[in-house]
Structure 1
Amino acid sequence: MTAVARVRVPDEVASLAPYVDAGVLGAAEVHLAAWAARAGGVSDDNVALAIAMAAWAARHGHACAVLGELPDVVARQLANPFGGAINDDVIDISWPDPSAWLDALRSAPDTVVRVADGPDLVPVLDNRPLVVLGDRVYLQRHWADECAVAAAVRELSAPAHDNLSDEDISDEDISNDNLSIGDTSDDNASNNVLSDGAATLLDNLLPAEVDGEPNRQRQAADTVLANRLALIAGGPGTGKTYSV
């Protein structure tokens, strides 16, 4: 028995013992589920496991637990990093059927589980520790964080009210030290039109074509300057770091 397997499993969540014995669940996950069982009147083993696995997911760097993917995710997470072998105890764990698991969560006390039908436009912070969206199970804090990030991205990705004017950009503003460039898969990367002054400056730094081919770095620069939000990607040597 490993040190992890010696976690005391309260009677309220005795069904979690096999997951503890296999080294999947630790004290934090078990006692969060036990607290929810006591405080929220949770008696369904599947709900207790969902709470524990949402905490497990957060502890291992995931925003949420996707019910149908958990067996594979857990197996990969706990595989031997040197040989890739998976602990037999993990392989032998019995997981709930995803549909039945989801039904249990939807029928759980609404003092513990909130079933969302989409992202929250404003944060909903209450006493319910679990949020369910589709087959994804979140701890409330991580759900609120994800909604906040999504709202910020939506706001930033909205079209800018005004394009850049000649007065907005000077020779000092656009230089090899502060122009973000990269790779893009769209030859017409931006639907916005830069001002004549900005386009002229960019022509001097990054011509639209190189050896008769579209200059992807120029397209990336156009995109960054014409939008409030841009994601720049590219492999090694494509110029991202040097130009930024």
Structure 2
Amino acid sequence: MTVDEVDVANWRRAQQATGRLRAFNDAGVLESADVLVAQRLTTLAGESDEAVALAVAFVSRAVRAGSVCVDITCLQDQIDMPELDWPAPQAWLEAVSTSPLLGAPPVLHLDEGLLYFDRYWLEECQVARDVRALAAAPRAGGLPDIARLF
């Protein structure tokens, strides 16, 4: 790529991305925000595996799209871009599961194959506790009289 080919105004392109992050960003699968989050977090954690960086970028992408987690083992089937250099699903999951990003303090959380930013996993756990508490609490005054509505 030459200087003439670089569109510096394109905010979706992470100009400093390399390897898989670059390829997925160039293909439009990941945006610059996803790439930059992955680069920063892996650098801070001392994580050098680009498959882990790609997983972090996909968690960022999921959060941007309104989800709290991603199943990285299903991404290739969902995105359907076989020309990209996808990690093998089980090897990808293994790389993530041994990453320092899951250490203390955790940045990521892996739960039954779903990868979360730890903050969102904690929030999901809180919601689950709150729903269980509401379901277990006895209703004051019994059940509402819904028969009158029909």
Same fold (TM over 0.5): yes
Provide runs of 4+ in structure 1 moved above 6 Å: none
The superposition leaves residues 158-177 of structure 1 with CA deviations (integer Å, 9 ceiling, x where unpaired) of 15176629xxx8xxxx6xxx
Q: Secondary structure at the match of 2:116?
A: strand
1:56 corresponds to = 61
Larger Rg: 1
TM-score, normalization by structure 1: 0.51
Instruction: Report if aligned partners of 1:9, 1:30 keep a CA contact under 8 Å in 2.
Output: no
Within-5 A mapping of 1:1-244: 3=10, 6-10=13-17, 14-75=19-80, 90-109=81-100, 112-114=101-103, 127-160=105-138, 164=142, 202=147, 205=148
Question: Contact between 2:35 and 2:57, CA under 8 Å: does it hold in 1?
Answer: yes
Structure 1 unaligned regions, length at least 5: 76-89, 115-125, 180-201, 207-216, 218-244
Q: Which has the higher contact order (CA 8 A, sep 6+)?
A: 2
Shift of 1:104: 0.5
Corresponding residue of 1:238:
none
The CA RMSD measured in Å over matched residues stands at 2.7
Please give the per-residue CA displacement for 1:139-185, whole angstroms capped at 9, x wherever unaligned.
Answer: 122212211111111111115176629xxx8xxxx6xxxx5xxxxxx
The percentage of aligned residue pairs carrying the same residue is 31
Q: State the Cα deviation string for residues 63-120 of structure 1 (Å, max 9, x = none).
A: 2111122123335xxxxxxxxxxxxxx34223212211111112111xx225xxxxxx
TM-score relative to the length of structure 2: 0.79
Q: Any idea what the Cα deviations from partners look like across 1:178-229, whole Å, max 9, x if unmatched?
A: x5xxxxxxxxxxxxxxxxxxxxxx4xx25xxxxxxxxxx6xxxxxxxxxxxx
Paired residues in the alignment total 143
